[in-house]
């Protein structure tokens, strides 16, 4: 079926007053060059702030109740035309939240909460999917932050990580929304997956995301519904973050001289070490690692301080949607390794346990662990208290979505990217970020193999925008079973070469073109400056071709 995304955009345009004209990527008459990106004032990056006094040892464990992030409803929907459009509004603003009850923590937020609200949307392009488009208006009311005595504007850019957006809606790092500006982002909701939106401002992503600018976005489709997986209240986001809090509750941003940032408070959906009361039945968990640098090795255990054998989780999905079959992981040896920005979905069947059993989600230090930091305080994440019986009509099918394997013999080229540390910076092929340089130029429809090599020292979770990939091998060996689906983030461990394969430009059923970023998703590495870009096709417009507008020009959606 030929879908008509651009028609939908135009339809949205006709219905929506004042909406910015989304440029057609094929129309190079509208093209700008990258250097036309408007410059917001950036300021110097201050040295990290330290505090000896830290709160984490005083925070009780497994006492604060688990909570889900709030669900965001559209403020307006347009049902007519080929594809309905839902309009959402998110204000980026400073807020005070109770991470620790009784203490106020200042954050930079999407709509005032930590993490931001969850958007759940119907996607897919087959008729039965009844897929919809989204328009999300992001309004920057963050103002300024004080750095070394100067007031620096908090500029933002919003990336919906896991969506094949047009370049001008992809949160390009130089496409900044300055304070008192807003931008309408258009999202095609092309396929079902657990994805997330987060800040992507040039040089400042690690700080902005750490301060609170992250939220989950879930796309569902009809095929997924047919698998009868746990749904509704049994379909649960788990957004993992590690933070550092001073005694007065304020956030401490310490990136250890631009190396990495490790917190000593482990949070799930903004709550430190929560306790979730569950029924004896199956639950589907969507776990997102929204931490700056930390990788987690997730294992279930009946004990807080050691691993009990035989606890099972069934991995059913990864970054870009469902796997082709569940992958069973059994404690104590099989962990689910999740690096920054990765998403995995798994089912836990609590009916395997007696009432009043406690089950811990742990992050023990495995020898294989990719972390430099193995703080004992973040070795346990949360507790499930199995406290009631409830009926369960959901299933854990043997087979899930069929995954068509891309054939390496059809690749038109292999490109090599080396991730390495220089004396002062993080680099890709010895180069730092330059918005005027493009390092790869695949053509729409091309199948390519990219070889990602790590020269050692640190693990790099490499993220490539816009396309879904399959991992071919790690140092010539098969990837882990749960890495067998579609992915957009790849752990590239010390002295490892990971080969990945993709078909460019075709995900939305249409061939899209444009410039997109690739970078390490250890956000400290990304900022300093392990990031590059590739261009799909020729002469596509600049990713800055739909600039933000001043708030004074807002018209209702
Ligand atoms: Cu999740 Cu380019 O980022
Ligand atoms: Cu992305
Ligand atoms: Cu890195």
Q: What is the mean pLDDT of the segment spanning 285-303?
A: 97
Output helix, strand, coil percentages for the chain, rounded to the nearest 5. 10, 40, 50
| pLDDT, greater one: 25 or 107 | 107
Rounded distance between C-alpha atoms, residue 105 and residue 243, angstroms:
11
Q: Which ligand is nearest to the CA of 340?
A: 1
Provide the pLDDT confidence category of residue 8 given band limits of 50, 70 and 90.
very low
Provide the pLDDT confidence category of residue 11 given band limits of 50, 70 and 90.
very low
SS3 annotation, 97-154? ECCCCCCCEEEEEECCECCCCEEEEECCCCHHHCCCEEEEEEEEECCEEEECCEEEEC
Q: What is the mean pLDDT of the segment spanning 165-184?
A: 96
The Å distance, Cα 311 to ligand 1 centre, comes to 33
CB 164 within 8 A of CB 141: no
The Å distance, Cα 234 to ligand 1 centre, comes to 28
Three-state DSSP at 280 gives strand
Neighbour tally for 429: CB within 10 Å: 13
Rounded distance between C-alpha atoms, residue 551 and residue 549, angstroms:
6
Rounded distance between C-alpha atoms, residue 246 and residue 51, angstroms:
7
The minimum-distance atom of ligand 1 relative to the CA of 341 is 1
Q: Note the pLDDT tens digit of each residue in 211-226.
A: 999 999 999 999 899 9
Q: Which ligand is nearest to the CA of 525?
A: 3
Q: Which ligand is nearest to the CA of 518?
A: 1
Rounded distance between C-alpha atoms, residue 430 and residue 442, angstroms:
21
CB 508 within 8 A of CB 165: no
Q: Note the pLDDT tens digit of each residue in 50-81.
A: 555 678 888 999 999 999 999 999 999 999 87
The Å distance, Cα 488 to ligand 2 centre, comes to 7
What average pLDDT is seen over the chain?
A: 90
CB 348 within 8 A of CB 313: yes
SS3 annotation, 6-73? HHHHHHHHHHCCCCCCCCCCCCHHHCCCHHHCCCCCCCCCCCCCCCCCECHHHCCCCCCECCCCCECC
Above 90 in pLDDT, residue 4? Answer: no
pLDDT reported for residue 187: 96
Above 50 in pLDDT, residue 12? Answer: no
For ligand 1, which residues put their CB under 6 angstroms from it?
159, 161, 198, 200, 341, 463, 465, 517, 519, 521
Helix H or strand E segment including 15: helix 5-15
User: Which listed CATH number (3.30.70.1350, 2.60.40.420, 3.30.2180.10, 3.10.310.70) goes with 232-389?
Assistant: 2.60.40.420
pLDDT reported for residue 19: 40
Q: Note the pLDDT tens digit of each residue in 361-392.
A: 999 987 666 666 767 889 999 999 999 999 99
Neighbour tally for 14: CB within 10 Å: 11
Above 50 in pLDDT, residue 28? Answer: no
The Å distance, Cα 520 to ligand 3 centre, comes to 5
Query: DSSP code of 303?
Result: S
The minimum-distance atom of ligand 1 relative to the CA of 526 is 2
Q: The dihedral of CA 398, 403, 409, 411: what is its sign?
A: negative
pLDDT reported for residue 29: 34
Residue limits of CATH 2.60.40.420 in the chain: 5-46+67-224, 232-389, 408-536
Q: What is the mean pLDDT of the segment spanning 82-87?
A: 94
Q: Quote the percentage of the chain above a pLDDT of 70.
A: 89
The Å distance, Cα 94 to ligand 3 centre, comes to 29
The Å distance, Cα 80 to ligand 2 centre, comes to 30
User: Which listed CATH number (1.10.10.10, 1.10.3470.10, 2.60.40.420, 2.30.40.10) goes with 5-46+67-224?
Assistant: 2.60.40.420
Considering the domain delimited by 408-536, tell me its CATH architecture.
Answer: Sandwich (2.60)
Provide the pLDDT confidence category of residue 47 given band limits of 50, 70 and 90.
low
| pLDDT, greater one: 44 or 521 | 521
The minimum-distance atom of ligand 1 relative to the CA of 531 is 2
Rounded distance between C-alpha atoms, residue 294 and residue 403, angstroms:
30
Q: Could you tell me the pTM of the whole model?
A: 0.93
Q: Note the pLDDT tens digit of each residue in 116-131.
A: 999 999 999 888 999 9
The Å distance, Cα 162 to ligand 1 centre, comes to 8
pLDDT reported for residue 367: 63
Query: What are the C-alpha distances in Å from 335 to residues 101, 314, 472, 504?
Result: 32, 11, 21, 32
The minimum-distance atom of ligand 1 relative to the CA of 489 is 1
CB 311 within 8 A of CB 383: no
Rounded distance between C-alpha atoms, residue 157 and residue 159, angstroms:
7
Above 80 in pLDDT, residue 228? Answer: yes
pLDDT reported for residue 45: 62
Above 70 in pLDDT, residue 107? Answer: yes
| pLDDT, greater one: 72 or 149 | 72
pLDDT reported for residue 58: 87
The minimum-distance atom of ligand 1 relative to the CA of 198 is 1
Structure tokens at 238: 């788990």
pLDDT reported for residue 371: 67
Q: Report the candidate in 513, 511, 507 with the shortest Cα–Cα distance to residue 541.
A: 513
Which of 203-207, 296-300, 539-543 is the least confident region?
539-543
Residue identifier of the C-alpha nearest atom 3 of ligand 1: 161
pLDDT reported for residue 51: 55
Rounded distance between C-alpha atoms, residue 197 and residue 200, angstroms:
9
Q: Which ligand is nearest to the CA of 420?
A: 3
Residue identifier of the C-alpha nearest atom 1 of ligand 1: 161
Q: Note the pLDDT tens digit of each residue in 439-484.
A: 999 999 999 999 999 998 899 999 999 999 999 999 999 999 999 9
Q: Report the candidate in 413, 414, 515 with the shortest Cα–Cα distance to residue 464.
A: 515
Structure tokens at 38: 């408007």
Helix H or strand E segment including 527: helix 523-527
């Amino acid at each position: 079926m030929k879908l008509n995304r651009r028609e939908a955009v135009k339809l949205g345009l006709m219905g929506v007053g004042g909406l910015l004209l989304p440029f057609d990527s094929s129309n190079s008459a509208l093209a700008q060059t990258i250097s036309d990106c408007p410059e917001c004032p950036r300021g110097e990056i201050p040295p990290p702030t330290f505090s000896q006094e830290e709160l984490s040892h005083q925070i009780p464990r497994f006492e604060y109740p688990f909570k889900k992030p709030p669900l965001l409803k559209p403020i307006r929907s347009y049902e007519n035309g080929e594809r309905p459009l839902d309009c959402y509004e998110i204000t980026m603003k400073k807020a005070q939240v109770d991470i620790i009850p009784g203490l106020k923590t200042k954050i930079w937020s999407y709509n005032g909460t930590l993490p931001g609200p969850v958007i759940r949307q119907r996607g897919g392009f087959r008729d039965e999917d009844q897929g919809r488009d989204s328009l999300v208006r992001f309004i920057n009311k963050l103002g300024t932050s004080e750095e070394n005595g100067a007031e620096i504007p908090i500029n933002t850019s919003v990336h919906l990580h896991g969506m094949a957006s047009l370049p001008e809606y992809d949160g390009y790092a130089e496409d900044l929304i300055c304070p008192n500006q807003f931008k309408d982002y258009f999202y095609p909701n092309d396929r079902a997956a657990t994805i997330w939106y987060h800040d992507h401002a040039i040089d400042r992503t690690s700080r902005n995301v750490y301060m609170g600018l992250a939220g989950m976005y879930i796309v569902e489709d009809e095929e997924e519904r047919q698998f009868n997986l746990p749904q509704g209240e049994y379909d649960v986001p788990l957004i993992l973050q590690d933070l550092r809090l001073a005694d007065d509750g304020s956030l401490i941003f310490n990136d250890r001289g631009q190396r990495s940032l490790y917190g000593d408070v482990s949070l799930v959906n903004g709550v430190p070490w929560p306790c979730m009361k569950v029924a004896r039945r199956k639950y589907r968990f969507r776990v997102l690692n929204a931490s700056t640098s930390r990788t987690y090795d997730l294992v279930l255990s009946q004990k807080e301080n050691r691993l009990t054998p035989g606890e099972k989780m069934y991995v059913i999905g990864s970054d870009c949607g469902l796997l082709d079959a569940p992958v069973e992981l059994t404690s104590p040896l099989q962990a689910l390794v999740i690096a920054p920005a990765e998403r995995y979905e798994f089912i836990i069947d609590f009916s395997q346990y007696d009432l009043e059993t406690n089950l811990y989600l742990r992050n023990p230090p495995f020898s294989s662990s990719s972390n430099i930091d193995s703080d004992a305080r973040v070795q346990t994440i949360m507790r499930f208290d199995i406290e009631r019986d409830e009926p369960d009509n959901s299933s854990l099918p043997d087979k899930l979505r069929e995954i068509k394997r891309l054939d390496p013999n059809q690749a038109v080229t292999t490109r090599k990217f080396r991730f390495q540390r220089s004396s002062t910076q993080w680099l890709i092929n010895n180069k730092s970020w330059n918005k005027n340089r493009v390092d790869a130029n695949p053509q729409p429809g091309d199948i390519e193999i990219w070889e990602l090599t790590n020269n050692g020292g640190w693990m790099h979770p490499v993220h490539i925008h816009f396309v879904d990939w399959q991992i071919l091998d790690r140092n010539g060996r098969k990837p882990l079973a749960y890495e067998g689906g579609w992915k957009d983030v790849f752990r590239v461990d010390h002295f490892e070469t990971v080969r990945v394969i993709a078909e460019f430009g075709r995900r939305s059923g249409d061939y899209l073109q444009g410039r997109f970023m690739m970078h390490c998703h250890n956000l400290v590495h990304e900022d300093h400056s392990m990031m590059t870009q590739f261009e799909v096709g020729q002469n596509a417009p600049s990713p800055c071709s739909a600039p933000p507008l001043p708030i004074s020009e807002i018209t209702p959606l």
